[in-house]
């Protein structure tokens, strides 16, 4: 659910409702300040550096300079360096340390020497020097002050704020409401991140585009514009002489900012707070994700069911030969939602529609339709009466399905509304001029809870617990939490007309409002490019002069609202479910939100452009440490085009989103996947493969939680030296080894896909392969087909399935082992993690979880497959078995078979039940590398069936390969 106004309407209402606003009179190339001089530097008590900076020459553009700054430098780990710059004389706003836990920086002048002492002594020359014995070295120039960060291992400079006359940017500027700092960059570097925004040119940041970071409720159809999240973090990929390296740069600052990338430099223009940089050394992409998420918070573990899946009646495909449909330990689900399900009977009919179409639906959602007049934690007595809801949910839960509802932050100002009355009694609302700040959202007049207030967190938890006793929902969807407001400024209850207006739209502001322009919070000297048009900061949100707990201005805390609400909601669900793993979906995000919630990309549109844009946004959120992310399948806003073909292609892509949900608004035509026979068929095929891959996806969920590794990844994550992939935004990887190549255009039956060097096997037909030198291939892609391939050196754990996911709990595994084409020597690895799906921390615990490493080798005429098991009791207790091993890429006939379990050979009767089949694999293209002595090297698919190997016990399977015996 969202405001319906597209950007053009927002622009018109802006002109009508607000006084003219000032756009910055100074272009981003204007050099604002004269810089600072480092006048003192010494070691801090914690082993870092602490210094004093003095402004060189005062300027008055955007206000007076802060005369003295404190510099603090600390190597916090081997791979993380912090550079913190703040006012030396008074404490400034920082992202609260209790909200995002981290080591506190020293308070101003905490080095033990008073500022008076420092100011009274004569300046002395400080020789430029370097500091640190770690991988990241801090260096500086004293006058004018500039700092740089370089690698110890190769001497490469990663960040350099020093400016000279040739630079396109100026010296560091530090004013009360304007901070500016820049870094030079190599011309050939590739940058990613800086969100949230919809990037039409792909995941790679483009020179000369402005990136504005400020949480804003405008739809995702607006391009290169500040959207719902604020992530002042970028990843840089450099390739020197064919060797790739990665590093990350985070500016820990919640104030609004513009970021300018010119191709050879990057400039931050921030309207408050401090300069608090964290540098992460990498140099590998997964190493970088580990470093970043160990700092901002590991991604939340998702319930198995949240991965979203259908279990289809599959189309005829060769993969059925060995029945490797996936199974799960609990309830894996595809998600269905619509803003506009009018009553509980209509919701139930949607569930029935999926069942009749044999498209499994395991998670049902409702927008605000279930509410009484759009009020949180209520049910409509007419359309969703409690007794009918309880009966519906009893049936839904009895079938193994889940139910999630939306809640918005705005609490209706209503004397009969108990949630409001309890909140008012606990004094939990954000204030303006000492009174709760009045706004308007869907229920009409609202107050906004202040989630920085500990009392608010307790009140919110109580409201969720109370609601779940009435409606036992399985997760919560928190929306409109940028936060969104249909009005602007300071508002009062009208005395001359009704509000809400029964004859108007609910998103039309009906309060009596006056613009706020007098305070420095409402009218800062530098105007960011808010909403893509330089809108005032308080436009259609909380007034920036409103105050939070302890007097914190909304100006500083605005972009933390959704983050703080996600923390409170996660905590509340954890408590109300008795400690079970929560599921929270949030629209607004900040650095660290992935620790508490999943994300969807907001209000997109049902057209081909938005289908394509979704990939870049999803990949970016993986970099931000939010791996559980997806876009509304088929589009949220309606588009003036037939939906059937688009929905076919969108479910084929969306089936591989980490978070997979169909969602639309009330103005859209019905777009449940069963509305068209062709879309239902595409859903059964694409979601069928997703369901088979659920053990792989859940293991990626475990890796995300323990190491920060994204689930959906840019291709360069696995192929960092493959330059052609650096801007690739039309394909992506699931984990390290599964490549998804969707159709993103109308009226085509082929797709041009880039394959990194190596052998790739079709997951829809394992008897077909591609051997690439790193080039594009044209793949067949008729209407009901999506292309997905697995890479060599991989072992994929897969499972069977059923129409309802709880039917799949005991079905066995198949291991798909991919060697390079024609392999005479090679190895492959894989893994699987299983647990009880309820522990709020994914971890290995005796009797609660099992982790299995799979290994396979071919060499010296022999194939061997074996496992290493950690905490196997859990899998044994569940009775989980491996029924089949499929090996791809062998260069010869197989003979002789040996199998051991826990070191003991299988007995003869068991061995006699096994099946051993071999099939020749078809080449899509024969390359020179596959030719020996003028003959194409044959490649075999070997299937070993009839196995009954306990997943929780060590096993070994081996046989001989007669090379050249085809």
Active site residues: 479, 482, 603
Q: 3-state DSSP: the chain helix, strand, coil percent, rounded to 5?
A: 20, 30, 45
**CA–CA gap between residue 726 and residue 111 (Å, rounded):** 45
**CA–CA gap between residue 588 and residue 562 (Å, rounded):** 5
Q: H helices of 167-314, where? A: 285-296
Segments of 717-803 assigned E as strands: 732-734, 738-741, 750-755, 758-762, 768-772, 775-780, 787-791, 794-799
829, 816, 811, 813: which is closest to 789 by C-alpha? 816
789, 786, 811: which is closest to 799 by C-alpha? 811
Residue 164: Cβ within 10 Å count? 10
For residue 384, give the DSSP letter. S
Per the CB < 8 A criterion, the answer to whether 91 and 148 are in contact is no
Q: Is the peptide bond before 265 cis (omega within 30 degrees of 0)?
A: no
**CA–CA gap between residue 822 and residue 929 (Å, rounded):** 10
**CA–CA gap between residue 711 and residue 658 (Å, rounded):** 7
Residue 910: Cβ within 10 Å count? 14
Per the CB < 8 A criterion, the answer to whether 363 and 308 are in contact is yes
Residue 438: alpha-carbon gap to chain centroid: 32
180, 202, 184, 182: which is closest to 192 by C-alpha? 202
Total residue length of the chain: 966
Q: Is the peptide bond before 144 cis (omega within 30 degrees of 0)?
A: yes
Per-residue burial over 432-457, b = 16 or more CB atoms within 10 Å of its CB, e = otherwise: beeebbbbbbbbbbbbbbbbbbeebb
Q: Is the peptide bond before 399 cis (omega within 30 degrees of 0)?
A: no
Segments of 243-325 assigned E as strands: 243-251, 257-261, 265-270, 275-280
DSSP 99-125: TS--PPPPPTTTTSS-HHHHHHSPP--
For 903, counting Cβ atoms within 10 Å of its Cβ (0-12 exposed, 13-18 middle, 19+ buried), the class is exposed
Per the CB < 8 A criterion, the answer to whether 887 and 941 are in contact is yes
Backbone φ/ψ region at 952: left (φ over 0), alpha (ψ -120 to 50), beta: alpha
Q: In what order do the strands lie in the sheet with 922-923?
A: 712-713, 732-734, 738-741, 787-791, 758-762, 768-772, 922-923
DSSP 396-434: HHHTT-EEEEEE-S-EE--TT-HHHHHHHHTT-B-EETT
Q: H helices of 332-487, where? A: 344-356, 386-398, 418-425, 454-470
H or E element that contains 183: strand 178-184
Distances 759 to 23, 152, 596, 791 between C-alpha atoms, Å: 54, 36, 38, 6
**CA–CA gap between residue 844 and residue 366 (Å, rounded):** 35
Backbone angles phi, psi at 429, to 5 degrees: -100, 150
502, 514, 515, 509: which is closest to 486 by C-alpha? 509
Per the CB < 8 A criterion, the answer to whether 723 and 239 are in contact is yes
Beta strand pairing call for 629-630 and 598-600: parallel
């Amino acid at each position: 659910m969202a405001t319906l106004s597209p950007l053009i309407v927002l622009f018109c209402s802006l002109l009508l409702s607000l006084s003219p606003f000032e756009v910055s009179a100074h272009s981003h190339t204007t050099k604002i300040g004269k810089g600072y001089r480092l006048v003192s530097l010494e070691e801090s008590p914690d082993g870092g550096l602490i210094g004093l900076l003095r402004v060189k020459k005062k300027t008055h553009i955007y206000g007076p300079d802060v005369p003295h700054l404190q510099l603090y430098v600390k190597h916090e780990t081997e791979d993380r360096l912090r550079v913190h710059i703040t006012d030396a004389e008074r404490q400034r706003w920082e992202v609260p340390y209790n909200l995002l836990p981290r080591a506190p920086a020293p308070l101003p002048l905490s080095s033990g020497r008073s500022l008076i002492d420092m100011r009274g002594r004569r300046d002395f020359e400080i020789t430029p020097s370097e500091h640190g014995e770690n991988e990241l070295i801090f260096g500086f120039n004293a006058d004018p002050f500039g700092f740089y960060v370089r690698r110890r291992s190769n001497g490469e400079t990663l960040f350099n704020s020093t400016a000279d006359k040739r630079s396109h940017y100026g010296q560091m500027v530090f004013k009360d409401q304007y901070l500016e700092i820049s870094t030079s960059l190599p011309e050939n570097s590739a940058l990613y991140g800086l969100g949230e925004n919809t990037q039409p040119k792909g995941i790679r940041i483009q020179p000369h585009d402005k990136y504005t970071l400020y949480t804003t409720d405008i739809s995702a159809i607006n391009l290169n514009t500040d959207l719902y999240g604020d992530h002042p973090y970028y990843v840089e990929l450099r390739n020197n002489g064919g060797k790739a390296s990665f590093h990350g740069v985070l500016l820990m600052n919640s104030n609004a900012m513009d970021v300018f990338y010119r191709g050879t430099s990057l400039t931050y223009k921030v309207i408050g707070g401090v300069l608090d940089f964290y540098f992460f050394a990498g140099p590998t992409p997964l190493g970088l994700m580990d470093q970043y998420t160990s700092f901002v918070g590991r991604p939340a573990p998702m319930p198995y069911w949240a991965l979203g899946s259908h279990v289809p009646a599959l189309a005829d495909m060769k993969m059925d030969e060995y029945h490797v449909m996936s199974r799960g330990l609990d309830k894996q689900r595809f998600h269905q939602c619509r803003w506009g399900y009018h009553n509980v009977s209509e919701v139930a009919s949607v569930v029935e529609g999926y069942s009749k179409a044999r498209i499994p639906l395991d998670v049902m959602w409702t927008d605000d339709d279930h509410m009484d007049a759009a009020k949180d934690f209520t049910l409509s007595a007419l359309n969703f009466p409690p007794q009918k809801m309880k009966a519906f949910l009893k049936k839904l839960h009895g079938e193994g399905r889940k139910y999630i509802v939306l809640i918005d932050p705005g609490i209706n100002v209503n004397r009969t509304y108990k949630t409001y009355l309890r909140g008012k009694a606990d004094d939990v609302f954000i204030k303006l001029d000492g009174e709760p700040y009045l706004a308007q959202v869907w229920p009409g007049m609202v107050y906004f809870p202040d989630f920085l207030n500990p009392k608010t967190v307790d009140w919110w938890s109580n409201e969720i617990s109370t609601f779940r006793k009435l409606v036992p929902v399985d997760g919560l969807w928190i929306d409109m939490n940028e936060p969104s407001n249909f009005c602007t400024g300071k508002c009062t209850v009208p005395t001359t007309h009704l509000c809400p207006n029964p004859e108007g739209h609910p998103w039309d502001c009906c309060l009596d409002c006056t613009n706020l322009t007098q305070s420095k919070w409402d009218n800062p000297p530098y105007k960011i490019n808010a909403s893509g048009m330089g809108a005032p900061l308080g436009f259609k949100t909380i007034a920036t002069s409103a105050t939070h707990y302890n007097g914190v201005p909304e100006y500083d805390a605005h972009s933390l609202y959704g983050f703080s609400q996600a923390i409170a909601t996660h905590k509340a669900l954890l408590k109300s479910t008795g400690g079970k793993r929560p599921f929270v979906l949030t629209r607004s995000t900040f650095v660290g939100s992935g620790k508490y919630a999943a994300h969807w990309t907001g209000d997109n549109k049902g057209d081909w452009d938005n289908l394509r844009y979704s990939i870049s946004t999803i990949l970016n959120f993986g970099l931000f440490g939010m791996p559980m992310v997806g876009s509304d399948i088929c589009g949220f806003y309606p588009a003036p085009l037939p939906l059937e073909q688009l929905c076919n292609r969108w479910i084929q892509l969306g089936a591989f989103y980490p978070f997979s949900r169909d969602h639309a608004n009330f103005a859209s035509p019905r777009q449940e996947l069963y509305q068209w026979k062709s879309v239902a068929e595409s859903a059964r095929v694409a979601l069928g493969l997703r369901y088979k891959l659920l053990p792989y996806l859940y293991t990626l969920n475990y890796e995300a939680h323990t190491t920060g590794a994204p689930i959906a990844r840019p291709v360069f994550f696995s192929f960092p030296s493959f330059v052609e992939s650096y801007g690739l935004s039309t394909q992506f990887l699931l984990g390290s080894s599964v490549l998804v190549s969707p159709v993103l255009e109308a009226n085509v039956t082929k797709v041009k896909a880039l394959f990194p060097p190596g052998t790739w096997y079709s997951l829809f037909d394992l008897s077909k392969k591609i051997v690439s030198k790193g080039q594009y291939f044209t793949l067949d892609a008729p209407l009901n087909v999506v292309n997905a391939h697995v890479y060599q050196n991989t072992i994929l754990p897969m499972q069977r399935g059923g129409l309802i996911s709880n039917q799949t709990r005991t079905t066995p595994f198949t291991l798909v082992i991919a060697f390079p084409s024609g392999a005479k020597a090679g190895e492959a690895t894989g893994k699987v993690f299983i647990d009880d799906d309820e522990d709020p921390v994914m971890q290995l615990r005796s009797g609660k979880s099992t982790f299995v490493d799979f290994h396979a080798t071919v060499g010296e005429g022999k194939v061997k497959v074996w496992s290493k098991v950690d905490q196997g009791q859990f899998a044994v207790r569940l009775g989980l078995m491996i029924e089949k091993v499929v090996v791809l890429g062998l260069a010869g006939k197989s003979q002789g078979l040996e199998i051991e379990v826990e070191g003991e050979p299988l007995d003869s009767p068991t061995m006699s039940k096994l099946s051993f089949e071999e099939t020749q694999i078809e080449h899509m293209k024969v390359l020179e590398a596959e030719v020996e002595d003028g003959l194409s090297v044959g490649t075999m698919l070997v299937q070993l069936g009839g196995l009954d190997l306990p997943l929780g016990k060590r096993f070994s399977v081996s046989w001989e390969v007669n090379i050249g015996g085809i």
